[in-house]
Amino acid sequence: MEKNHVSNLLPDYLDNTLSKEATKKVEEHVSICIQCKLELDEMKILFKAFEEEKLAVPTKRLAANFEGALAEEKSATSKVVSLDSVNKKSNWASNVFKIAASIALLVASFQMGRILQDKSFDQDLALLRNESLQLKQTAMLSLMENQSASKRIQGVSFIEEFTNPDEAIVKALGNRLLYDENDNVRLNAFEALSRFVTSENVKQVFIEALEVEKNPSIQIGIIQALVKIQEKKAIAPMKKLLEQEDTQPFVKNEINLGLPKII
């Protein structure tokens, strides 16, 4: 159930448009899936923000002032006065200009209110996203310490939410790769870290892992990642693997293919 996330159902769930069966499915799932529960909580906050967002409209005072000015100008232009044709044209142009200026002022005030409100909403949204990442990081670090291997793998998978993980996340993933007793957890930790192989911290973790890792699939993955970035510090542990009798032949072959690209 946990692997079959219900993210696509959450918007309809919050809108109360799901069937009873689908609603029950969502509620049961989020009760056991931390990832979907976090997404639901974030979506609730976002929906609330949209509901509270008010449309920017001119204030009653501003609208009344404009209507009064417009009525005054209409009244002035409707009076019959004895002026020559030049003055009539001049007054007509002046009145039109005043009305246009009033309209421009009203529009400008409306737009300014809209801009200021949009800016405030953007700031709220940025704050929401930051809080969301903090929640996910807390959940990720907690899951990676869980006794269940499947939970630790779930925690590792949260790396997809972070484009630039901080030191705490990298360290936690490194600990999974270096010390976790489960091969699948270590493999997932390697795949997560390989996205950031240019990081000095990640390079160091990979080099340390080469000295202790016994799973051939993970060994080859680390070797390929370090060869790709031509990491010279990987030469020594690779040569050490060549000398070890328990190193699989295909792993040694991968090292022999990669070493010339680094040296």
Cβ of 225: how many Cβ atoms within 10 Å? 19
Check whether residue 144 and residue 43 sit in a common domain: no
Q: Residue 130: inside a domain, yes or no?
A: no
In which band, very low, low, confident or very high, does the pLDDT at 8 lie, cut at 50, 70 and 90? confident
Structure tokens at 200: 């000095």
Q: Give domain status of residue 140, yes or no.
A: yes
Is 177 part of a structural domain of the chain?
A: yes
pLDDT digits (tens, 9 = 90+) for 50-71: 555 444 444 555 455 555 555 5
CATH of the domain at 201: 1.25.10.10
Q: Residue 80's pLDDT is what?
A: 45
Asked whether residue 16 carries a pLDDT value surpassing 60, the answer given is yes
Asked whether the whole model's pTM tops 0.75, one would answer no
| Position with higher pLDDT, 36 vs 182 | 182
User: Quick one: 151 and 247 in the same domain?
Assistant: yes
User: What is the pLDDT, as a whole number, of residue 242?
Assistant: 94
Q: Which of 88-102, 110-124, 192-206, 225-239 has the lowest mean pLDDT?
A: 88-102
**Res. 117 pLDDT band, cuts 50 70 90:** low
140 and 253 together in one domain: yes
Task: Please indicate, yes or no, if residue 21 is contained in any of the structural domains.
Answer: yes
pLDDT for 244 equals: 93
Determine, yes or no, domain membership for 153. yes
Q: How far is CA 255 from CA 204, 222, 232, 233, 241, in A?
A: 18, 11, 13, 14, 8
Place of tokens 């010279």: 232
Model confidence at 2, in pLDDT bands (50, 70, 90)?
very low
Cβ(98)–Cβ(68) below 8 Å: no
Domain with 141, as residue range(s), is 136-261
Same domain, 48 and 165: no
Residue 13 belongs to a domain: yes
Q: How many domains does the chain have?
A: 2
Residues 189 and 161: beta-carbon distance below 8 Å: no
Domain boundary among 18, 35, 52: 52
Residues 241 and 142 reside in one and the same domain: yes
In a domain, 82, yes or no: no
Q: Are residues 141 and 257 both part of a single domain?
A: yes
Dihedral, CA atoms, 177, 163, 48, 61, nearest 10 degrees? 160
Q: In angstroms, what CA-CA distances link 121 with 53, 161, 182, 238?
A: 8, 23, 45, 53
**Residue 115 falls inside a structural domain:** no
